[in-house]
Copies of this chain bind each other. A is one copy, B any other.
Amino acid sequence: MKAVCLLSGGMDSSTLAYHARDRGYRVLALHLNYGQKTEEKERSSAKTIARLVGAEEFLEIDLSYFKLFGKSSLTDRTIPVEPYSPAAEDIPNTYVPFRNANLLSIATSYAESRDADAIFIGVQSQDYSGYPDCRPAFIEAFQKVIETGSRRGDRIRLMTPFVTMSKREILALGLSLGVPYEHTWSCYQAEDVACGVCGACHFRREAFDALGVEDPIPYRGGR
């Protein structure tokens, strides 16, 4: 069995690649650069994880056209990344318009061309509190698009093993699989020392704290 794994180099997608391998899949790692601020760090993390997990391919595709659309603090350098706020009810400004449909379309083209059986994407429940393109309804709808729109769509399964899991549960799984978290990167805005306050840092630290495990990456101001 072969699977395309979307691998950003963050905590969730790195755990996902290890999980796919653990389930018996040969891993085709797909890293998509969409012009985000921390891309350089994410790419090197993804490459390292792909090597360590034994991926058969590491394919990187440039989607920096997202910069043309703007509207997101991840891709537009004039919009500051907002710190995580539990009171926020709106979609965070880190939302990139319809990003995941773009990622999944490419992943499906890739899967079809390599006769892969599955596509793994690391969307998880804390994401879809904020991002519409992480919701289970979106994933279900996309599975239907694959079935109707590709040559062998009935054979490509969209796998979202983390969709009902919390970050803490994902981390616990990853620790049991030996994921080298020192080589992963989550922070939305810094590439040397993680900021500790953006949404990605917030949820990552919360998960490590909840398990009483030390996060091996450096944070501004230490722990």
Contacts and interface: CB of A to CB of B under 8 A. Distances in A.
Given A141-B145, A149-B141, A108 B112 contact: no
Given A62-B65, A98-B112, A112-B98, A145 B142 contact: yes
Contacts of A140: 148
B108 A98 contact: yes
A151 B97 contact: yes
Given A69-B110, A105-B105, A141-B144, A149 B100 contact: yes
Contact of A133 (B61, B137, B141, B149): B149
Interface in A92-134: 95-102, 104-106, 108-110, 112-113, 132-133
A145 B138 contact: yes
Contact of A109 (B97, B146, B148): B97
Contact of A71 (B62, B70, B96, B113): B113
A146 B141 CA distance: 9
Interface string A56-89: 0001011001101111000000000000000000
Contacts of A133: 149-150
Given A71-B113, A102-B102, A150 B108 contact: no
15 contacts: A61-B68, A65-B106, A69-B112, A97-B109, A98-B146, A98-B149, A99-B109, A101-B105, A132-B151, A135-B148, A135-B149, A141-B141, A142-B145, A142-B149, A145-B145
Given A61-B65, A97-B150, A142-B145, 14 more contacts: A69-B113, A95-B151, A97-B113, A98-B146, A98-B149, A99-B109, A101-B109, A101-B145, A132-B148, A132-B151, A133-B149, A140-B148, A142-B149, A144-B144
Interface of A: 59, 61-62, 65-66, 68-71, 91, 95-102, 104-106, 108-110, 112-113, 132-133, 135, 137-138, 140-142, 144-151, 153
